[in-house]
Chains A and B, each alone.
Chain A
Amino acid sequence: MSSWTDKRPMSPHMQVWKWHLTMASSILHRMTGVGNYIGIFIVAAWLFATAAGPDYYEPLAGVVGTIWGQLILFGFTLSICYHLINGVRHLFMDAGLALNPKFASFLSGLVLVFAVVLAVAVWLLSGLVPGVDPLHMTGAAQ
């Protein structure tokens, strides 16, 4: 947090910029966009391996199954969830809505929380978390 307390509006400058939520949300939107760009390689690889046969699928599943693979996959899930929900916020802003500074900050925070909740929910429901399978759909295999 910046120690800047002057209430007067400031001109945007890289070094003297009061940290606020809408700014972080804008940066995160771009970062997660680039993250999704990298992540879709996994989706394409998964589809390609499925078409190419078990000889390709099993090694890929092995790599994704490691702790690092799982971390990257969860990061990708989080990245998608954030970019998706914040993207909706951006569409509203493009339409000229939700631009009031207070409300925009509140919405930025809400998007952040909701993105994490959604990503965790996707993992819990899909049985990707070992030992957790609320929908009982993964069978005994996990």
Chain B
Amino acid sequence: MSKPQQTMRTPLGKVRGLGSAKHGAGHFITQRVSAIGLIVLVPWFLISLIGAVRGGYDGALAWVADPINAVLTLLAVGTALYHMRLGMQVVVEDYITKHSTKNVLLILNTFICVVLFAAAAYAVLKIAIS
């Protein structure tokens, strides 16, 4: 039953020694894996937020201070930022054709996501650990 390993590589590609860098599907897969995580985290965040938004400042503080809320918030925000960095990357690559503009926007995209994560992580940890 064993068939020889099928390959999508053309003979010319083989000869040139170029082609797949072995992570061609990486972007697609990580986008989906983070999406699966968000299917659990986002509904939790929405439902949980119902409790967090009432009660004003004190209510919000008490909500984030709860250990489970703190960990899940970090996971939700972290996964969302990772997922949206990948998504925005595709949007930029699709619509911006000018090389320099595209690269500037791609770098900016990464920076924005990292800065937002740093701010959110600092906030959650400061409240939860103090």
Residues of A within 8 A of B (CB): 30, 33-34, 36-37, 40-41, 43-44, 46-48, 50-52, 54, 57-58, 61, 77, 80-81, 84, 87-88, 90-91, 94, 122, 125-128, 137-139, 141-142
Known pairs A43-B120, A50-B57, A51-B122; A126 contacts B49 (CB<8 A): yes
Shortest distance between the CB of B53 and any CB in chain A (Å): 6
Interface digits, B91-130 against A, CB 8 Å rule (1 contact, 0 not)?
1000000000000000000000000100110111011000
Instruction: Identify the 7 closest CB pairs spanning chains A and B, nearest first.
Output: A51-B123, A126-B50, A47-B123, A57-B57, A51-B126, A138-B54, A50-B60
Does B75 reach chain A (CB closer than 8 Å)?
Answer: no
Interface residues of B in 17-68 (CB under 8 A from A): 32, 35-36, 38-39, 42-43, 46, 49-51, 53-57, 60-61, 64
Write the residues of chain B forming the contact surface with A, with a CB cutoff of 8 angstroms. 32, 35-36, 38-39, 42-43, 46, 49-51, 53-57, 60-61, 64, 73, 77, 80-81, 84, 87-88, 91, 116, 119-120, 122-124, 126-127
Is A87 a contact partner of B60 (Cβ separation < 8 A)?
A: no
- Between A and B, 21 residue pairs with Cβ closer than 8 Å are A33-B87, A34-B91, A36-B80, A40-B77, A40-B80, A46-B60, A47-B123, A48-B119, A48-B120, A50-B64, A50-B127, A51-B124, A57-B57, A80-B46, A87-B39, A90-B35, A122-B46, A122-B50, A126-B53, A137-B50, A139-B55
Please judge, given known A-B contacts A43-B77, A125-B50, whether A61 and B56 are in contact too, CB under 8 Å. Answer: yes
- Residues on B with C-beta less than 8 A from A137 are 50-51, 54
Least CB distance from B108 to A in Å reads 12
How distant is A84 from chain B, measured CB to nearest CB, in Å?
5
Residues of A within 8 A of B53 (CB): 126, 128
Smallest CB separation, B107 vs chain A (Å) = 16
B interface: dominant SS: helix
What is the bound-complex CA distance between A88 and B42, given in angstroms? 12
Question: How far, in Å, is B128 (CB) from chain A's closest CB?
Answer: 10
Q: Judge whether B56 and A40 touch: CB under 8 Å.
A: no
The answer to whether B54 touches A50, judged by C-beta atoms less than 8 angstroms apart, is no
Does the CB pair A58–B57 fall under 8 Å? yes
Q: Which of A41, A80, A138, A142 contacts B116 (CB 8 A)?
A: A41
Q: Which residues of A contact B122 (CB under 8 A)?
A: 48, 51
Per the bound structure, the CA–CA distance linking A34 and B87 in Å amounts to 8
Given the known inter-chain contacts A91-B36, A128-B53, please indicate yes or no for A80 contacting B120, CB distance below 8 A. Answer: no
Contact A61 B57 (CB under 8 A): yes
Q: CA A126 – CA B50 in complex, angstroms?
A: 4
